[in-house]
Each structure stands twice: as C-alpha cells, then as structure tokens.
Structure 1
Amino acid sequence: MMISMYRVSSRDVYANLALEHWIWKNMDFNRRKIILFWRNSPTVVIGRHQNPWLECKVNTPGVQLARRQSGGGTVYHDAENLNITVFTNQQGYCRRNNLGLTCQALKDKWGLDLSVNKKDDIILNGHWKVSGSSSRLTRDKAYHHYTLLIHTNLEALSSALMSDMADRITSTSATASIKSPVRNLSSVCTEITCEEACEAVAYYFNNKTLGKVETISPQDEDQFPGILQLTEEQKDYEWLFGKTPPFVVRHSFIVVQDQVSITVKSYIEVQKGMIKEAAFTTDSSVIPLYMLASLQHTVKGTRLWPSELSYTLARFIHDHNNNLSQTLCEAWFTSLFYK
C-alpha cells in the first residue's frame, strides 16, 4: 500500500483539527495510508463525548479549548508535544501496530525503554505515560491519533487539567478521563526534539526507508476546499460546549450582608451548554424569596460561560439596583467558576 506523510505547518489547534477532519471526510484510504504529524500551541483537547467543565479549567489564560471528533479522554497539547494521526481503511486499522512502530523507532534512535500497555498508552520505563491514543472508525475507513510528550510544560498541563467545578457536577453521562502519571521523553533523553522524533517515526512507517514528509498548511483553501469553514466550526460554542451531555451543578456558597454570613444552595441543570433550569434556596430571611426567584428566571437560557453569565448578572443587578443583589451575584459567580 502506498504511504503519504505530511507535516503540518500550523500551530492553530482549530485549523489542525479541521485539517484532520477534512482528510478523513475527503480522501480514500483503500490504496493509500496517510500519516499526519502536527503540533499545537497550548490547548486542552477534550474527547467528542466529554464535559469540558468536568475535565479542565475552561477559561485558562493562554490555553485554548478544543473538542476533537474522536472519543476518549482529555489531553494537553503544546508545541513540544508531537501528535501523530494514522489514516487507513478499516482493514488496515491497528493501533498496537502504530504504537509498536513508534516505540521501536524511538528505541532504536535513542535507546528509550518504551512499551505499550493494555489501554494503548505508550509507557516510559515501565511506569510513566508519554502517549495517549484515540480513534475513529466507520465501515470503510479509520484513523488513530496519539500524542508524544517530548518536552511539554508539565506544570501547565497539570494546572489546565484541574477543573474547579468537577466536585460539584452530578448526573452526567459524559466520558470521564482517567488520570495517569506522565513524564516527558526529554526527562531521560535531553537531546530528543519533536522534529527528530517526527523523522524517526516517519522512517519506520516508511519501512525503514527515507521517505518525503511534505509540509502542508491547513489554511490552504485551494488544496483543501472548505477547510476555512471547517476551522470556524471547530471554534463554535455549539461544538465546543453545546455537544456536552446534560449535567447538573450543585453547590453552596456564602453571601455576606451587613456582616452576616448567609448560606445559599445553588442547583443548575445544563443542556447543550446552556442553563436550562436553576434553583436558589436559603434558610435565611435576609435574602428575599422574590430576589432568588428572579435570579432563577434571569439566568435560564444563558450559556454557562463566564463572560456571558457575567453580562446576564449585570442586567439582574441593574434591574434590582441594590447592594444585596450585587453581593448575591458576585458570590454565586465566583463560587461557580473559581474555588
């Protein structure tokens, strides 16, 4: 079978995922296997059936959020993580073969102790995860994509994948990630780079012969008609958040009014990334019931996103025009998005 290998010039996760999807939709893999090597700027990438609020900090400065077409768990990408996608027909699909070739390439080049576990993770020195996999299959085609932690910022990875809302989310059918201890390949081999890892893996995929790895751009509308529209769709709230399975957020927060601490219980139902139902209750008479009922009504239909919810709450504060409404909204908003 013919093999074509491509290196993507972009570091834009939305453009790169759009390119991956374009190739999947438009190319025939019955006579040709395609290998795609790509990297992104700092990004949390969630699986198709995951809940971003459960998996990560959804509004981390300098870190983008993306949802991929395949299932599986959440991963963190930056420019020092190498992504590899292997496109084949259904008969040629074999995750363990792809991972085995990758391990052998890195072993032969740098003497690394790598193995593939039962979950199709690549493991360094028998313990540390350096690669996670996900796939998409249909009746006639398939792709398998996986990561390689070369010299990723692991502190940023750990911070970005720590959700402030996870312990308050209930009643969800979303796929949950399984956390594993991770390490960079550069921790045991300081000279390894993404570029050299790409070349080593490409050499093995090409049956240990030097093959051309062509550089392509996902912004090339002439080469990939419709790619720019696909890129915009990757950024859309309806895709990023609206595809999240329904869930409930329950928690309590404290409102301080006239030096009195008041506990308020919050309950919100979220569907398609929007607040469908809300309820606020308290045993205190300091906060009038009509104000809580008004807040419930006001937030319904709002996207569960800091900037949009902040705008909705600003209208509520303006309508009620008193210190208590502002204190109530600020306490709820802060407790909801920030521990």
Structure 2
Amino acid sequence: MRRENMNYIIWAESNDPRYNLAVEAHLQTLVKEGDVILYLWQNEHTVVIGKNQNILKECRARLLEEEGGYVARRTTGGGAVYQDMGNVCFTFLASPEMYDLKRQSGIIADACGFYGIETQASGRNDILTKEGLKFSGNAYSKTASCNVQHGTLMVDVDKERMTRYLTPSKEKMKAKGVDSVRSRVCNLRDLNQEITTQGIMEQMAESFQKEYGTAQILKLSREDQEKIRQIYESYCSWEWVYGQSPACEIIHQKRFGWGEVEIQMHLENLVIKEIKVYTDALDIGLPQAIEKAFRGRRYDLSDAATDAAEGESAIERQKQVKEVIDWIAEIS
C-alpha cells in the first residue's frame, strides 16, 4: 500500500505472543525508505526465548503450558524473559538510514522521565534504573530494508511467577545454546506507583512523536492479516518453539519399586536420537524395551510415546515401561 507519512504507530490487538511476533515479522516487510514505525504490544502469561536457546535449559515450559501460559521463540538473540500484562513490549522498525539506537533509546528514557524515573544504558542490551536495577532488555535484527530494535519494559510484572517459570529443572544436562544471564530486576511501579502499562505506552507514543514528528496510526489490511496468519501458524508449531533447540545430552535418574533406572539421552531438535538405559531391575530385557519405547520420539512425548509400551509381551515388563514413560512425560 502507498503511504505518504513516514512515521507510524501501531497498537497490538492481541495478547498472544506468537501472533504479536508474527505481526512484528510482517511489519518488517512493510518498511520503506525513510520509514520509522513504533509497535506497542503486550503478551499474556508468557515465556519468550531467544532464537538460539535450548528451551529445556531456560524455562519450565510444560508447567507454564499446563497453567494456561504460552511459550514462544523469537527470531532475535538474547535470553529468556517472562512477560505478563504488567509488561510492555516495544519495537522500533526503521529503514537503515533512519535507524538510530541513540534516538530510539532516548524515547524510552523520555517516557520513563515523565514519571520521574532516571535511566541508564548497560551495554547494548539492557536499560537500568539509576540504582542499577534492570527493567528493560533489548534485542536486535536487520534485513536489507529494515532494522529492528525490540524490548520489554517491566512495569508491574509478577516476579514470583517469573522466578517460577524461569527456573528449569535441575536435571543433569550438557547442552548447547545461549544461556540467559540472570540480572537483578525491578518493576517501574516500585519507583512510582502512578505508572501503568497503558500510561507508559501512551508516553512512548508521545515521546516518539516528539522525536520524529506527527505519526499516523498504522492499520493492517486484510492482505496483511492473511500474511500474518501464515507466520503465526509457523510460530505456533512444535518444530519452531521446541524443535529449534540445539542438541543436548540429558540424564534422568529415579528409583522405582522394582529397581533404579538411569536414562542417558542424546537429543537433536528435542527428538531422542540416542538413548541408553541402566537399571538394577531383575528383568534383563527391560533396558532394551525402554530404549525401544523412546528412541525417535519427541522428548516431551507429545507424539504419543505411550503406544510403544503396548508391544511388550510380558505384562510386568509392559507395566514397568509404562511407569518410565509416565515419569519422563511428567518431568520433561
């Protein structure tokens, strides 16, 4: 679509992180020479991990999903973050000649300054309070026609939930992937009780226009919506959210009533490629039966691994294999 004004603001209409990230991806294709877009959005009850992270190392994904939350993978680097409706996400999308990290960061500082909060940059990725507490993390990407800076603003995030979901299980694991760096964080409402998510978004929009001039509200066409839907579907897929995880080795141990089991797995894209089972159980054929049940399956057993136990002829062995399957399904 042909546009005259080069400054735009778009407000998200969804709180689904996968949809919001799909909108962001599509917006990158709309940026023309001289354009600057501010995209403001919120995600509900979500963990977002970086493109190159191993989901097993970063969060308790199964617990989050069982409790009605979302797990999403973004296309930029950086660490895992917990987001809820007490958090604000922002994205600056600009043509290469208009992209200016100093100007963009100044908009954030100006919006916070409206509430009397002084900020400081920490490296390239974080924004801190003057006391040194992190409230914003940023990540970046670029194409030939569009540069992107996106980040978060912790306004009133549930920090107990954040700790709960970003504390993965203590299984023995050797894994590739970029680890998140844990920082001391704070909510902006800890510094000024008058600040709200809606208020800070409105101030971001006002500061954006102070910096770049009057902006139009960007409306998406039906054609845009269809392209976003296609991206959204790919962002919802198991292959993207889980299957992009780097290879890893993981060890599980547990004592059952019939014996102790140690399982060593080699995972590639969270699929069990190799498995070795050790046990002191009396049934000498049990390790091979367990290995057969798991090999080639998704680690979270979302591809119905319980069927594998049905092929075992011995009733007792079948029961034991099923116990192991249920155990791994519970902790994965």
Task: Report the TM-score, using the length of structure 2 for normalisation.
Answer: 0.89
What is the one-letter code of the residue matched to 2:294? V
Instruction: Say how many residue pairs are matched.
Output: 325
What is the one-letter code of the residue matched to 1:193? T
The verdict on how the C-alpha distance between 1:57 and 1:129 changes in structure 2, with shifts beyond 3 A counting, is same
User: Distance in 1 between the 2:213 and 2:200 partners?
Assistant: 14
Which residue of structure 2 lines up, in the alignment, with residue 174 of structure 1?
A: 177
Is this contact kept in 2: 1:313–1:329, CA < 8 A? Answer: yes
How far does residue 333 in structure 1 lie from its aligned partner after superposition?
A: 4.5
| 2:167 corresponds to 1:162 | yes
Structure 2 residues without counterparts, runs of 5 or longer: none
Q: The residue matched to 2:225 in structure 1 has which SS?
A: coil
| 2:91 corresponds to 1:85 | yes
Which residue of structure 2 lines up, in the alignment, with residue 11 of structure 1?
A: 15
Aligned counterparts, 1:50-69, within 5 A: 50-59=53-62, 60=64, 61-69=67-75
Percent identical among aligned pairs is 23
User: Distance in 2 between the 1:95 and 1:50 partners?
Assistant: 25
Q: The residue matched to 1:174 in structure 2 has which SS?
A: coil
Q: The residue matched to 1:195 in structure 2 has which SS?
A: helix
| 2:150 corresponds to 1:145 | yes
Q: The residue matched to 2:117 in structure 1 has which SS?
A: coil
What is the one-letter code of the residue matched to 1:268? M
How far does residue 318 in structure 1 lie from its aligned partner after superposition?
A: 6.3
The verdict on how the C-alpha distance between 1:249 and 1:213 changes in structure 2, with shifts beyond 3 A counting, is farther
Is this contact kept in 1: 2:300–2:329, CA < 8 A? Answer: no
Which residue of structure 1 lines up, in the alignment, with residue 265 of structure 2?
A: 268
- Superposed CA RMSD in Å reads 2.4
Q: The residue matched to 2:217 in structure 1 has which SS?
A: strand
Within the candidate set 263, 277, 282, 1:280 is matched to 277
What is the one-letter code of the residue matched to 2:289? S
What is the one-letter code of the residue matched to 1:197? I
User: Which 10-residue stretch deviates more, 93-102 or 5-14?
Assistant: 93-102
Q: The residue matched to 1:82 in structure 2 has which SS?
A: strand
Task: Point out 4+ residue stretches in structure 1 off by more than 4 angstroms.
Answer: 208-213
Aligned counterparts, 1:1-339, within 5 A: 2-24=6-28, 26-59=29-62, 60=64, 61-107=67-113, 109-164=114-169, 167-170=171-174, 172-207=175-210, 211=214, 214=217, 221-257=222-258, 262-282=259-279, 284=280, 286-308=281-303, 311-316=304-309, 319-320=312-313, 322-323=315-316, 325-327=318-320, 329-331=322-324, 333-334=326-327, 337-338=330-331
How far does residue 303 in structure 1 lie from its aligned partner after superposition?
A: 0.9
User: Distance in 2 between the 1:133 and 1:32 partners?
Assistant: 21
User: Distance in 1 between the 2:116 and 2:227 partners?
Assistant: 43
Q: The residue matched to 1:62 in structure 2 has which SS?
A: coil
Q: The residue matched to 2:274 in structure 1 has which SS?
A: strand
